[in-house]
């Protein structure tokens, strides 16, 4: 991983069309501004990761799981 030290107000260029600027540093929080093309998605890492892990968990569902659910559902009705 490339590691750079930047001050508030300084920026980083990634390729030709992505620009990241450090807007403010306050205690352990950093505000970052990002200029990127429309089709480049920018997400907070933990949100992206959470959804990815949830997908992986969801992919382990079996027909038996659903069969059990149907029983619960019928009982409820």
Partner 1 sequence: MKGDYRVKLFTSRFGEIDIEEDKLINFTQGLLGFPDVKRYIVLDHPNNPDIPLKWLQAIDDPDLAFVITDPLLFYPDYNPEIDEHDLKGLNITEAEDCGIISIVTIPHGEPEKMTANLQGPVLVNLRTREGKQIVLESDKYPLRYSLIKDIPVSKP
CA atoms within 13 A of residue 26's CA, in its CB half-sphere? 4
Q: Does 31 bind partner 1 (CB under 8 A)?
A: no
Q: Does 63 bind partner 1 (CB under 8 A)?
A: yes
Q: In the complex with partner 1, which residue's Cβ is closer, 4 or 58?
A: 58
Please tell me the distance from the alpha carbon of residue 21 to that of residue 5, in angstroms, as a whole number.
12
Q: Does 76 bind partner 1 (CB under 8 A)?
A: yes
How many CB atoms lie under 10 A from the CB of residue 34?
13
Q: Which stretch binds partner 1 (CB under 8 A): 1-9, 10-18, 26-34, 36-44?
A: 36-44
């Amino acid at each position: 991983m490339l590691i750079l030290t930047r001050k508030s107000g300084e920026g980083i260029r990634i390729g030709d069309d992505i620009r990241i600027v450090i807007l403010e540093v306050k205690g352990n929080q950093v505000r970052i501004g990002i200029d990127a093309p429309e089709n480049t998605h920018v997400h907070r890492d933990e949100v992206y990761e959470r959804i990815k892990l949830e997908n992986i968990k969801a992919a382990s569902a079996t027909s038996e799981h659903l069969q059990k659910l149907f029983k619960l559902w019928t009982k409820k009705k």
